[in-house]
Amino acid sequence: MSKFVKYEDLKKTRIITFDRPEKKNAFNEEMLVKMSEIIQDTEKINQIRTIIITSNCDKVFSSGYDISSESIDSKESLLKIHIIDDNSEKHPLMKISEVIVESPKIIIAAINGSIFGGALEIMLNCDFKFFSRESIFCMPPVKLGIFYNYYGLKNFINKIGISNTRKIFFTGDKYSSKDAIDMKIFDFIYDQKDVLKKSIEFSEKISLNAPLSLASIKKSINTFEAGQTINPEDYEQIKKTILRAAESFDYLEAQAAFKEKRPPNFSGK
């Protein structure tokens, strides 16, 4: 079992828990790879029908992807997260989303604290999302001078619509659980102390149903949702905008401001 990702089986439900409080559960590659392995392992266990993903932190479910980790040691390593080439292996941040979507198990996010950045995108792929009434959520790339991959944005558009995607990405603001209800970004809102309990109750209800039927319906829904495609020419144009941002002064300024714990001074150059 990973130092940062733990799991236990409860009747027909597997509960995966993030346990990296000293970093506010910021995801690193090790955590993402282990989470993928744990989810894929359930495919061999007929008794497990549902999976709950939760956190041990009191106030922060996850602060997002750990951009201070050793895996983000250069601009090139960051670009690997946001540009997908046919001849390159997908970054664990993208791979985990794929694993959640393709899993035949019904996966529930019990988000019992505030959630930021890449963690929000990952949890958006879960079949159901429970959220804490006291918590906030945020997508901060524009405040960090960081670009974002097309597939992640497509995922947000599919789940919450173009207008809400623009709102949370263009502002980089922090939004409340009331905003979450208005945007329909989460399915259920409960007091923090009740999020996991209610998730377990819901998972137990789903687990009473026929597993092959659940898997078939989930596959059909996700296939329909992913039906939009992008032609190669448009993707190349998107890739150019990402590379331009990566070569900019603003990107360097954002990295310096992050390390110096000060607001960045963007120039658009």
Residue 232 forms part of a structural domain: no
According to the per-residue pLDDT averaged within each range, which of 80-84, 88-92, 154-158, 256-260 is highest? 154-158
Residue 15 forms part of a structural domain: yes
CA 171/CA 176 separation, integer angstroms: 14
Residue 238 forms part of a structural domain: no
State pTM to two decimals.
0.83
Residue with tokens 């300024």: 253
CA 112/CA 231 separation, integer angstroms: 39
Q: For 224-256, how does the pLDDT look when each residue is reduced to its tens digit (9 = 90+)?
A: 877 666 667 766 776 677 777 777 777 777 777
Q: For 72-87, how does the pLDDT look when each residue is reduced to its tens digit (9 = 90+)?
A: 445 566 666 655 555 5
pLDDT of 87: 56
Q: For 19-29, how does the pLDDT look when each residue is reduced to its tens digit (9 = 90+)?
A: 998 889 998 88
Q: Does the structure show a pLDDT above 60 at 134? A: yes
With vertex at residue 78, the alpha carbon angle to CA 235 and CA 258, rounded to the nearest 5 degrees, is 125
Question: What are the phi and psi torsion angles at 81 (to 5°)?
Answer: -75, -35
Q: For 40-72, how does the pLDDT look when each residue is reduced to its tens digit (9 = 90+)?
A: 999 999 899 999 999 997 789 999 888 765 544
> Is residue 19 classed as helix, strand or coil in its secondary structure?
coil
* 161: region left, alpha or beta (phi > 0 left; psi from -120 to 50 alpha): left
Residue 255 forms part of a structural domain: no
Give the CATH number of the domain where residue 171 resides.
3.90.226.10
Residue 253 forms part of a structural domain: no
How many domains is the chain partitioned into structurally?
1
Query: Which pLDDT band, with edges at 50, 70 and 90, does 133 fall under?
Result: very high
Full domain range(s) for residue 132: 5-194+205-225
Residue 48 forms part of a structural domain: yes
Residue 256 forms part of a structural domain: no
Residue 82 forms part of a structural domain: yes
